Amino acid sequence: MPIGLLTGLAAAVCWGTLDLFSALASRRIGSLRVTTGMQIVGAVLVWVAAIATGMRFSGDPFVLVGGSLVGLVGAGAYLTYFTGLRIGPIAVVSGVVAAYGGLTVVLAVVLRGESLTALQAVGALVATVGVVMTGLAFDQGWRNTRFASPGVIFAVVALVLFAAMAIIGDIVIDRAPWLEVVVVSRTANAVLSTLVLVLMLTVFRRVAAPMIEGEPGDGGAGRADARVVWFVILAGTLDVIGLAAFAYGLANAATWLVGLASSFGPAVTIIVAVALLGERLRPLQWVGLGGILVGMIAIGLP
């Protein structure tokens, strides 16, 4: 299996699993608190890894600025995605965001000069359509599904930001070891998320209500119990493991392949939900999983 496909899939497994924990926690304490908690956990973990491996910072201004930009874009991507999941419709939000893999392929070809064989291009298209279909679930039929809800607007923004994070990250990793870039980006991510949380809780509380409040009708909304804290810690740990796999893939494989494979997260979320929560797949989701499998085979062929 190509290294880009393997590392991208590893990131997808981590990110697809953390979606369950982050969605549950966001409904309790709000997406901004969850995002901030995740980034702080991730920053601590990457600093521990950097110290344990004796990593030395190059001090390259390009890496510092570029890595910080990756962190800023990533913070915006996570916040808008989790906010979209918080206000829904969750199935549509997940499917829309999953399309960032297809956008990453396009940007990698246009901006990074990468190329695909005809078979790989077909596989990328089929896999992208498959992952979107896997993320979509229509409880009341296609015609009754609202695509113009605020949650979908947040999903579109997240889609663009995730693709941008992949491209910018690839550019910066060309200049420095991937771990150094991850340390810089995750530190900037944690700092920005914390500052935004403080501002939203103090100055812009009314405007930021969808991001800082739990679900209406929950008597404990806005307060974190032990289970929510563990959800955030688990999500932060999975996130940084996925990010490490993603960054390593960008350093050693084609950007389009890593970005596309990492977007299979919604399929992982569905599989985990079936295995752990007893949910059942809808026919559309079965078709989507089949499309992902066919696409992966086409991409992996020499």
199 inside domain: yes
225 inside domain: yes
Which range has the worst mean pLDDT, 16-20, 119-123, 134-138, 166-170?
Answer: 134-138
Between residues 24 and 53, the one the model is more confident about: 53
67 inside domain: no
Question: Mean pLDDT over residues 151-180, rounded?
Answer: 89
191 inside domain: yes
125 inside domain: yes
For the whole model, what pTM was predicted?
A: 0.80
Amino acid at 230: W
59 inside domain: no
* In the predicted structure, residue 81 carries a pLDDT above the cut 70: yes
pLDDT value for 78: 81
Share of the chain above pLDDT 70, in %: 82
29 inside domain: yes
Total of domains in the chain:
1
Question: Mean pLDDT over residues 236-261, rounded?
Answer: 92
Between residues 234 and 220, the one the model is more confident about: 234
127 inside domain: yes
* In the predicted structure, residue 45 carries a pLDDT above the cut 70: yes
pLDDT value for 10: 94
Write phi, then psi, for 99 (nearest 5 degrees). -70, -5
Distance CA 224, CA 31 (A): 12
Look over the chain and give the mean of its residue pLDDT values, rounded to a whole number. Answer: 81
Indicate left, alpha or beta for 216 from its phi (over 0: left) and psi (-120 to 50: alpha).
beta
Residue range of the domain that includes 204: 3-54+78-300
pLDDT value for 139: 47
